[in-house]
Amino acid sequence: MIGTHQPDSLGRFGAFGGRFVPETVMAALDELQAAVNEALADPAFHAERDALARDFIGRPTPLYYAERLSEAVGGAQIWLKREDLNHTGAHKINNAVGQALIARRLGKRRIVAETGAGQHGVAAATVCARFGLDAVVYMGLEDTRRQRPNVVRMHMLGAELVPVTAGAGTLKDAMNEAIRDWIASVETTHYMIGSAAGPHPYPLLVRELQAVIGDEARAQLLDRAGRLPDAVLACVGGGSNAIGMFHAFRDDDVRLIGVEAGGDGAQLHAATLGGGRVSILHGSRSYVLADGEGQVLETHSISAGLDYPGVGPEHAHLKETGRAEYVPETDEAALVAFHRLCRLEGIIPALESAHALARAERVAASLPPAAIVLVCLSGRGDKDVDAIADREAVR
Amino acid sequence: MRLVTPALVVYLMADDGVADLAAAAVEAGATAIELGIPYSDPLADGPTIQRAGQRALDAGMTPSRALAVLAEIDRRVDVPLIPMTYGAIVEAYGVERFCADAAAAGAEGLIVADIPPEESAPLRDAAGGAGIDLIHLVAPTSREERLRAAAGLSRGFVYLVASMGTTGARERLDDRLAGLIGRTKAAAGATPVIAGFGISRPEHVRAVLAAGGDGVIVASAAIDALDEGGAEGFATFVRSLAGALA
Ligand SMILES: Cc1ncc(COP(=O)(O)O)c(C=O)c1O
């Protein structure tokens, strides 16, 4: 059931969100919204989702106290919400399973999706295999190179993968093509967006489907530590793992910290909330990395999943209201945190999640040992090991 | 807008030298010119217009320069001029300033592809204040209420999307075209209904007019004709569509 912190009737969170899309898909957004409202009010929908969460995804995911990492950092306790242990290796599957159930309610048997790191593409391909749907996944050419293991997985799962050569060949370009496909195919096709972005009702839908992360983590921490965390951190690409993690803590006295891709630490980055301006991208009003004339800028991040010039509208609202903070971590800092987690905890994190870890270490270092820092470990790093090995062998 | 119907609206991408093409289009029978202001991420556009837009951006085209190009076209031809762009461009420029500057450059109408009726109030006010017509779109998928809203809010004309998908030349238009034109005409009253998206042949023009439409917009097919046959091929193509208006 949809609870508090609802967008208004036009799908706006404060000044952000809405629907900025060609007329051709407006009717489909109305239909989707009706289907989402019905599904969220239907106990049968929740029962099926819960069963799939348990038996197919592997939920609840563990909450893990990273004791050796905490000790090495020398401050607060660092706890990890292990979304990396989900089936397919990231939080993306939470959203994909829910949207597959919605697509079925809509009677749509063809799915289009975009992917950056390939984790959403793999999740979409996975649920399409599981539900007998056709999957077409758009992925930037550059991303097909740097996340090659996920390309192979999508093929094995039976998805059609379409490499996108436009622009820099990254997530933004893949999303353009997925939306263009959908504009042409909207009557038979569901657009399975991978993040908490896009036109209303997608940001709300994805939040509701990812809120399980924070709901579980909050209950687990209360159970295990007997208290709420002092700070909650998550990386922010489009913002789905972050909003899923933050949502449960919105009304608690807890710092919410979103970590964006700081890239090279200077000009080349993907820190949209940190360095962007209010504009329109991919169907909603939010912060965008754009120039003064409205043209979208090229971004850079070592992590394909964060290499995106937009961000979900609810994060823009959380920034504007001061409820959450958004900070950058560089490629280098993410790599250091990546290796530290590998060596100290025996966990290979996704490069996206490593950005959140990098900041979590800094925050933990500034707090006393009794404090608790909770981090969303959004995914595992299997997809990244080749790219990191190549990069480090070159040096 | 001083739109003469049946209308043949020819789309050109703002680029240096485009005023000559606009003059050639009008000479060949175009009754209005739509001028694309390039945007980095044009979601409603297919490959032809994406490419034309990217070429223009690579050559340094900006929204202000595009309005200067519009003014240059206005000095050369005496037909309605209609800039077309995306919300991000208009908002970055400033909605009111954009409408005022476009009007000063000779624009009589404005199309913003990703601003639907529910989000268009600020733009409607600014366009109204500047004395230019804000055009809304209807699509084959638009339900009755949306169709009535778009038709009711449109000034100048209603832009009827004649095929599903992004812009681009097509062999066939949407099967529902005639019905959509009929429904839109009924909702639009005296406001003309002009069909675009996919229009690329004289028989498309005849089909639109036969169904009661007031004209067509041709974009990608005109740019394709230009890319393939130069200025001469472009003029020949426009003439072939103009011939189907009568
Ligand atoms: C593991 C992982 N974390 C985070 C992200 C970023 O997406 P979001 O901000 O929507 O959580 C991705 C995206 O590909 C990802 O694969």
DSSP letters, A68-99, are HHHHHHTSSEEEEEEGGGSGGGBTHHHHHHHH
Which pLDDT score, from 0 to 100, does residue A184 have?
94
The verdict on A243 and A361 lying in the same domain is yes
* Cβ A222 vs Cβ A214: under 8 Å: no
Angle at which helices A202-210 and A313-320 pack, to 10 degrees? 80
Is A378 labeled as catalytic in the residue annotation? Answer: yes
Confidence of residue B16 (pLDDT cuts 50, 70, 90): confident
The verdict on A139 and A258 lying in the same domain is no
* Residue A6 included in any domain: no
Q: Which residue, among A356, A342, A353, A345, has the nearest Cα to A389 in the 3D structure? A: A342
- What are the tokens at A17? 């969100």
The verdict on A332 and A198 lying in the same domain is no
Which residues of B carry out catalysis?
34, 45
pTM: 0.97
* pLDDT, tens only, A177-225: 999 999 999 999 999 999 999 999 999 999 999 999 999 999 999 999 9
Q: Calculate how close chain A gets to B225, using CA atoms only, in Å.
A: 23
Calpha distance B232→B24 (Å, rounded): 9
Sign of the torsion angle spanned by Cα atoms B71, B72, B77, B79: negative
- H-run or E-run covering B196: strand B193-196
For residue B189, give every residue at least 6 positions away whose Cβ sits within 8 Å of its Cβ, in sequence order, or none: B151
The pLDDT of residue A132 is above 80: yes
The verdict on A215 and A238 lying in the same domain is yes
Q: Which residue, among B224, B219, B244, has the nearest Cα to B162 in the 3D structure? A: B219
* Residue A127 included in any domain: yes
Q: What's the CATH number where B57 sits?
A: 3.20.20.70
Radius of gyration of chain A measured on its C-alpha atoms: 19
Stretch 157-176 of chain A: residues touching chain B, C-beta under 8 Å: 166-167, 172, 176
Q: What's the CATH number where A70 sits?
A: 3.40.50.1100
Calpha distance B5→A387 (Å, rounded): 60
Question: How large a percentage of chain A has pLDDT more than 70?
Answer: 99
Calpha distance A69→A376 (Å, rounded): 15
- What are the tokens at A204? 């709300």
Largest distance between two CA atoms of chain B: 44
The verdict on A143 and A65 lying in the same domain is no
Q: Calculate how close chain A gets to B136, using CA atoms only, in Å.
A: 9
* Number of domains chain A contains: 2
**Mutation pick for ligand 1 pocket among A352, A380, A382 (CB with most ligand atoms within 8 Å):** A352
Burial string for B177-194 (b: 16+ CB within 10 Å, else e) reads bbebbebbbebbeebbbb
* Residue B2 included in any domain: no
* Residue A4 included in any domain: no
The verdict on A190 and A215 lying in the same domain is no
Q: What 3 state SS string does B160-171 have? A: EECCCCCCCCCC
Q: Is A176 in the pocket of ligand 1 (CB under 6 A)?
A: no
Q: Which residues pair with B12 in a beta bridge?
A: B35
The CA A72 to ligand 1 mean position distance, Å, reads: 26
* Residue A245 included in any domain: yes
The verdict on A185 and A270 lying in the same domain is no
DSSP at A298: P
The verdict on A346 and A218 lying in the same domain is yes
* Cβ A37 vs Cβ A1: under 8 Å: no
**Domain range spanning residue A194?**
12-50+92-206
Calpha distance A26→B113 (Å, rounded): 12
* Residue B13 included in any domain: yes
Q: For residue B167, which residues of chain A lie inside 8 Å, CB to CB?
A: none
Other CB atoms within a 10 A radius of the CB of residue A353 amount to 35
What average pLDDT score do residues B168-194 get? Answer: 95
Other CB atoms within a 10 A radius of the CB of residue A222 amount to 12
* Residue B188 included in any domain: yes
Calpha distance A244→A248 (Å, rounded): 8
Starting at the earlier edge strand, list the strands of the sheet with B7-13: B133-135, B109-112, B81-85, B32-36, B7-13, B215-218, B193-196, B158-161, B137-138
ipTM computed for the complex: 0.96
* Number of domains chain B contains: 1
Q: Is A90 in the pocket of ligand 1 (CB under 6 A)?
A: yes
* Residue A84 included in any domain: yes
Sign of the torsion angle spanned by Cα atoms A367, A372, A375, A381: positive
**Domain range spanning residue B12?**
7-244
The pLDDT of residue B218 is above 80: yes
The verdict on A201 and A274 lying in the same domain is no
Q: What are the DSSP E strand ranges found in A181-239?
A: 189-191, 231-235
Which pLDDT score, from 0 to 100, does residue A263 have?
96
* Residue B54 included in any domain: yes
Calpha distance B183→B211 (Å, rounded): 11
Which pLDDT score, from 0 to 100, does residue A394 have?
64
* Residue A320 included in any domain: yes
Q: Which residue, among A62, A89, A376, A1, has the nearest Cα to A214 in the 3D structure? A: A376
Calpha distance A124→A133 (Å, rounded): 10
Q: For residue A27, which residues of chain B lie inside 8 Å, CB to CB?
A: 139, 141-143, 146
Which pLDDT score, from 0 to 100, does residue A246 have?
98
- A19 vs B166: CB contact, 8 Å cut-off? no
The verdict on A75 and A200 lying in the same domain is no
Which pLDDT score, from 0 to 100, does residue A3 have?
63
Residue where a domain terminates, one of A206, A236, A270: A206
Residue where a domain terminates, one of A190, A206, A222: A206
3 state SS of B232: helix
- A24 vs B141: CB contact, 8 Å cut-off? yes
* pLDDT, tens only, B136-155: 999 999 999 999 999 999 99
* Residue B144 included in any domain: yes
Q: Calculate how close chain A gets to B28, using CA atoms only, in Å.
A: 31
The verdict on A225 and A353 lying in the same domain is yes
Q: Which of A22, A185, A288 sits opposite B114 (nearest CB)?
A: A22
Whole-number mean pLDDT of chain A?
A: 97
* Cβ B187 vs Cβ B148: under 8 Å: yes
The pLDDT of residue A2 is above 70: no
What average pLDDT score do residues A244-256 get? Answer: 98
The pLDDT of residue A348 is above 50: yes
Q: Does residue A28 sit at the B interface (CB-CB below 8 Å)? A: yes
* pLDDT, tens only, A44-92: 999 999 999 999 999 999 999 999 999 999 999 999 999 999 999 999 9
CA B1 to each of CA A310, B79, B157: distance values in angstroms, whole numbers, following the listed order: 37, 9, 8
DSSP at A104: H
- What are the tokens at B22? 């606009």
For residue A117, give every residue at least 6 positions away whose Cβ sits within 8 Å of its Cβ, in sequence order, or none: A90, A143, A147, A150, A303, A304, A305, A350, A351, A352, A379, A383
Q: For residue B193, which residues of chain A lie inside 8 Å, CB to CB?
A: none
What average pLDDT score do residues A347-352 get? Answer: 98
Residue where a domain terminates, one of A161, A185, A206: A206
Confidence of residue B176 (pLDDT cuts 50, 70, 90): very high
Q: Is A89 in the pocket of ligand 1 (CB under 6 A)?
A: no
* Cβ A142 vs Cβ A118: under 8 Å: no
Nearest CA to ligand 1 atom 16: A119
Sign of the torsion angle spanned by Cα atoms A340, A344, A348, A353: negative
Stretch 230-289 of chain A: residues touching chain B, C-beta under 8 Å: 279-283, 288
Q: What are the DSSP E strand ranges found in A52-166?
A: 63-65, 77-82, 110-115, 134-140, 160-164
For residue A130, give every residue at least 6 positions away whose Cβ sits within 8 Å of its Cβ, in sequence order, or none: A56, A100
* Residue B1 included in any domain: no
The pLDDT of residue A1 is above 90: no
* Residue A300 included in any domain: yes
The verdict on A273 and A352 lying in the same domain is yes
* Cβ A354 vs Cβ A262: under 8 Å: no
The pLDDT of residue B194 is above 60: yes
